[in-house]
Chain A
Amino acid sequence: MNITVEIGKLKLKNPILTASGTFGYGQEFEDFFDPSILGAIITKGTTLEPREGNNYPRMAETSAGMLNAVGLQNKGVHYFINEILPAIAKYQTNIIVNVAGNAVEDYVETVSLLNNIDRVDAVELNVSCPNVKHGGMQFGTNYDLLKELLQKVRKTYNKTLIVKLSPNVTKIEDFALLCQDEHADAITVANTYLGMAIDINTMKTKLATITGGLSGPAIKPITLRMVYQCAQVVNIPIIASGGIISWQDAIEYLLAGASAVQIGTANFINPSISQDILHGIEQYLLQKNIKNIKEIIGAMKSN
């Protein structure tokens, strides 16, 4: 059975990736399973300068989901390169760095630093973080701004470039096409949905930032629809991210046109869920007698 997939110049041994901000740097999960079995690890959002993130409370549970407003807390790209990367370089899998910024120049400088680092196999450009005041989602929801960003980043970064789109737009296909036109190697569909929650006893918003990003099983049907829509218009690979908690969810995304999937919030419920999902997919292919996983990518039929 062949379950390898290609994303740009990357060859993934399987289509299971862990989503940015939900898997730390892999080390947190070592007691539960070996991150080397994954197709790739995607790091926490990394910025040029260190960031403290937002005030507490940063999360709230909602029906079949959670809101988060972490606000890209991270120690900056230099710390990542010098301190974190050497510790995770041992994983026999691809390391994809999720990059965020306040301004175009921040993104450009960050990716230019990562361009020279061998062990960084790809960059996932986060233009869709709903939890920061400047930058973040602003790039992912503004066509012209995103175009400028992609042109400058693409000039600087020549390894595999993935753009993580915001679902908080009217027509995600336009943004998907833009990424393809500006020579991104792949797109991730999608980040979290802008949402909010209020504590009716204290009458306060549950998040310090009032609004935050909704993730978890609640969002799956919507993101699935967006993956399908994007798959209709672009040829570059699509990586799905949204509400996957089982191998069945992952298969659905592949059928809708995703070449790979990211496991996010589900890591919090079962830290070894990525491994379970990988096994589930293998069993499914075996049972259906499918020799190559690529046969099911985009293979959905309409009713």
Chain B
Amino acid sequence: MNNKKIHTQLIILDNEEINSSHFRLHIELPADCPHIQPGQFAEFYVPPTLQSFLRIPLSIHFVSDKEIQFLIQIKGEGTQYLKTLQKGDKIDTILPLGKGFTIPTNKKVALIGGGCGIAPLLFLSDQLAANNNLQHIFLGFRNYEQVMLIDDFKKYGEVIVSTDDGSFGDKGVITDIFEKKLEKFDYVYSCGPTIMINKVIEICKHNNLYCEVSLETLMGCGIGACLCCAISTKNGNLRACIDGPVFDSNLINNLNY
């Protein structure tokens, strides 16, 4: 069963620019906030525009004793609006939503993130470290300009970075690097573009590694009511927002979107 959710106005503490297309929102942790698991997400209300009026789902990027952070890529009007928020502004939020990652103790684990898909992995990494897990963190970006948050991850384990064009770190897609450096990981976690996730699932299946992936779909409600967020699995169509967004990769049929 998923934990309790709250619907509340949260206060922005800081809006940190990361690079030309990404920023990080620091939001005050509400006093009545239920326990948040890495991999869970929030739904933000942004003022409706002529194009859209539904909420925006965003992964919980990091949680400290004072704040909740979100790492956001500017895509369309909604994320552009979030970019304009400043210290003291309020944002209507529903959280924490969905099912998060499993956190083991004393295991050897690998994290594979691509682009903005690294968002939920930072809090995951923090919690894995708190439970004495040995981490190998694989982060892939398009090019040097897009590389971000390496130092944040370095606190928790060995970080391996690649860029598609080789302008930073290893050259190539991160899944190839992951495959080359494969070890007997007890747990593998991944979040990122569909093509990357499919590849990670394939590698893990081939090598008999347990893997959890965080999946993004379009969402109507974010709370399990509309069935718009269908993920095709071995157990039939499941809802990304409440049965996920984190799934055991063995369940997932090839993602084709």
Partner-B contacts on A (CB < 8 A): 21-24, 28-29, 31-32, 44, 52-61, 63-64, 66, 68, 70, 73, 216-217, 265, 267-272
Contacts and interface: CB of A to CB of B under 8 A. Distances in A.
Interface string B65-84: 00000000000000000000
B228 A68 contact: yes
Given A269-B53, A269-B54, A73 B7 contact: no
Contacts of B237: 52-53, 73
A53 B226 contact: no
A53 to B, nearest CB: 6
Contacts, number: 94
Interface in B211-251: 217-218, 220-232, 236-237, 242
B240 to A, nearest CB: 9
Contacts of B222: 268
Q: Which 9 A-B pairs have the closest CB atoms?
A: A24-B225, A59-B228, A268-B221, A31-B5, A28-B225, A28-B224, A61-B52, A70-B227, A58-B228
B31 interface: no
B236 A52 contact: yes
B51 interface: yes
Given A52-B237, A56-B217, A271-B221, 18 more contacts: A22-B221, A28-B221, A29-B223, A29-B225, A53-B237, A55-B232, A57-B257, A59-B228, A60-B218, A61-B52, A63-B50, A63-B51, A66-B54, A68-B228, A70-B227, A268-B222, A269-B54, A272-B7
B155 interface: no
A32 B94 CA distance: 10
A53 B55 contact: no
Nearest to A69: B228
B94 A271 contact: yes
B58 to A, nearest CB: 16
A6 to B, nearest CB: 28
Nearest to B225: A24
B57 to A, nearest CB: 11
A29 B231 CA distance: 22
Contacts of B30: none
B4 interface: yes
B226 A61 contact: no
A273 to B, nearest CB: 11
24 contacts: A22-B225, A24-B224, A31-B4, A53-B237, A55-B230, A55-B232, A56-B230, A56-B232, A56-B257, A57-B217, A58-B227, A58-B229, A59-B218, A59-B228, A61-B52, A63-B51, A64-B50, A64-B53, A66-B220, A70-B227, A73-B230, A268-B222, A269-B55, A271-B7
* Residue among A24, A28, A44, A270 with max Cβ neighbours from chain B (10 Å): A28
Given A73-B237, A268-B54, A53 B94 contact: no
Contacts of A271: 7, 94, 221, 223
A191 B54 CA distance: 20
